Amino acid sequence: MKLGVYIQVPFCRTKCTYCNFHTGVFPQGMYAPYVDAVVREISEHRALFAAAGVAQIKSRSVGPDAGPLDDNLKEVARVTLQHGSAVVDTIYIGGGTPSLLEPAALARIVDAVRGSFACALEEVTLEADPET
């Protein structure tokens, strides 16, 4: 089974009037802590899922307080739980404007995916603003 990984980088130089994504204009000093948090979440995803009760998923609910799952969420949870046998073939880094991050920060994110999942990358895509 193949998996794609999407990572959002919510930073923008300006907030576009047409944008409905959870993004904003933030000081550059927030970029490194955000990358640290993304890398940590990728590296610790198995423990985070287990702590949230996702490892105990049933066809009706996730965790003690969760409501019914729709079919799409059930499928995401099923694939997530079985990802040990799956291979990540695509990483998409979207935004906001991920091209605002330094190349080294982007490399850390891709390296975290490579270090936490079996990978046979066929595509790594970065959403970019031509000005950045």
pLDDT in tens, 46-65: 787 777 766 543 333 344 44
Residue 8 pLDDT: 95
Residue 64 pLDDT: 45
Task: List, in order, residues 6 or more apart from 48 with CB less than 8 Å away.
Answer: 41
Residues of the chain with pLDDT under 50: 56-66, 69
Residue 77 pLDDT: 57
d(CA 101, CA 98): 6
Residue 63 pLDDT: 45
Contact 5, 88 (CB under 8 A): yes
